[in-house]
Amino acid sequence: MDLNAKIYIAGHKGLVGSAILRKLEAEGYTNLVCRTSKELDLREREAVLRFFAEEQIDYVFLAAAKVGGIAANNDYPADFIRDNLFIQTNVIDAAYQYNVKKLLFLGSTCIYPKYAPQPLKEEYLLTGELEPTNEPYAIAKIAGINMCKSYNRQYGTRFISAMPTNMYGPNDNFDLKSSHVLPALIRKFHEAKQSGAPAVEVWGTGTPKREFLHSDDLAEACLFLMEHYEDNEIINIGVGEDIEIKELAGLIKSIVGYEGDISFNASIPDGTPRKLVDVTKINSLGWKARIPLDEGLRSVYSAFNQDTLIQA
Ligand code: GFB
């Protein structure tokens, strides 16, 4: 990508898109195009086509999606499948119609079967049943992957798909009902420390394992793939290491400096028991995650703490 190529970052206000935007700016890209969801509702086909017609975009990072943690996915299945199908279909099709040079579509590791062998190799896609709590979201993402592949096959486009593992970083969602586990636990331990609550409730049994990738690492990987990856098949982005939820809770508890207890509410679903990605493919191309979880957690907590001080 030339430094003056016109690059559209769809979803630039979110965890992933904002990290990609920061990375592109830091690398010296000057012609970056962004729209908030108020300015451009990506679920509206006509609006998206108009936007692509006006802007004549060269490259697209498709990081816009309706995302959420286990509870949001479980409670709003229709919203997750509908909004994601609309967003990705409109952007991918407009990118084809207006001759975008290359597009990166971001999926998720929930596209892999619930009981797939670990670590998750790219070829395990569509080899078994999905995890029910996020099946609608996963099916939308699988449709996006297939759309990229099919457009490449039929129309000769260059649309690539990457599957990042669970992510965290600046601009995450800290709302307890809709967030992912990591920001939820940061907030829960922080608030329990402030209020002197005797215990923090962690959902599920605490035994599932998850892998956590800092969004700055992810952004670097996205740029790397945009520059070096041409394959039609998906590629994982991850760290290659995972941690039990109860261990994560212990780590956040100590970073926050909370001294009470941890309780587990097993009436809330655990979701997939484990989803560690195999990163052999991306590592062998020359990219590796750099930010250790402990360091990433400290920086996220320090930013969260500062924000809450400013708001108070
Ligand atoms: O991050 P999370 O919501 O999503 O939950 P998934 C991960 C694990 O942490 C689950 C447990 O076993 C949760 O039960 N957990 C413990 C908590 N305490 C909490 C809490 O306070 N809040 C939350 N949210 N979880 C999502 C998918 O799956 O991950 C999406 O639903 C997507 O489709 C995304 O793939 C990356 O990792 O289970």
Q: pLDDT per residue over 114-171, tens digit each?
A: 999 999 999 999 999 999 999 999 999 999 999 999 999 999 999 999 999 999 999 9
Structure tokens that stand for 244 in this block:
């039990």
CA–centroid distance, residue 179 to ligand 1 (Å):
8
Number of neighbouring beta carbons within 10 Å of residue 88: 25
pLDDT(40) > 90: yes
pLDDT in the model for residue 177: 95
Q: What is the DSSP letter of 169?
A: -
CA dist 296 → 93, 156, 215, 255 (Å): 36, 39, 9, 11
At residue 310 the predicted structure's pLDDT band, cuts being 50, 70 and 90, is: confident
**Domains defined along the chain, listed by start:** 7-171+211-241+275-291 (3.40.50.720)
List active site positions.
137
Q: Pairing state of beta strands 243-244 and 212-214?
A: unpaired
The per-residue pLDDT of the chain, averaged, comes to 97
pLDDT confidence bin for 107, thresholds 50/70/90: very high
* Average pLDDT rounded to a whole number, residues 33-44: 98
pTM: 0.96
pLDDT at 309: 77
CB of 108 sitting under 6 A from ligand 1: yes
- HEC-encoded secondary structure of 252-311: HHHHHCCCCEEEEECCCCCCCCECCECCHHHHHHCCCCCCCHHHHHHHHHHHHHHHHHHH
Average pLDDT over residues 27-38: 98
With a cut of 80, say whether residue 312 has pLDDT above it.
no
Expressed in angstroms and rounded, the spacing between residue 11 Cα and the centre of ligand 1 is 21
Query: Taking 80 as the threshold, does the pLDDT of residue 174 lie above it?
Result: yes
Residue whose tokens read 């990118």 = 95
Binding residues for NADP(+): 11-17, 106-109, 141, 180
How does pLDDT run across 195-231, given as a tens digit for each residue? Answer: 999 999 999 999 999 999 999 999 999 999 999 999 9
User: ipTM score here?
Assistant: 0.97
Distance 102 CA to ligand 1 centre (A): 32
In the annotated binding site for substrate, the residues are 188, 203, 210, 270
Instruction: Output the pLDDT for position 157.
Output: 98
Shortest-distance Cα residue to atom 10 of ligand 1: 270
Please give the structure tokens belonging to residue 49: 């086509």
Ligand 1, closest atom to CA 137? 33
311 — pLDDT class (breaks 50, 70, 90): confident
pLDDT value at 185 more than 90: yes
Confidence class of residue 306 from pLDDT cuts 50, 70 and 90? confident
Q: How far is the CA of 230 from the centre of ligand 1 (A)?
A: 32
| Ligand 1 site-directed mutation target among 181, 209, 242, 276, most atoms within 8 Å of CB | 181
Look at residue 28 in the predicted model and tell me its pLDDT.
98
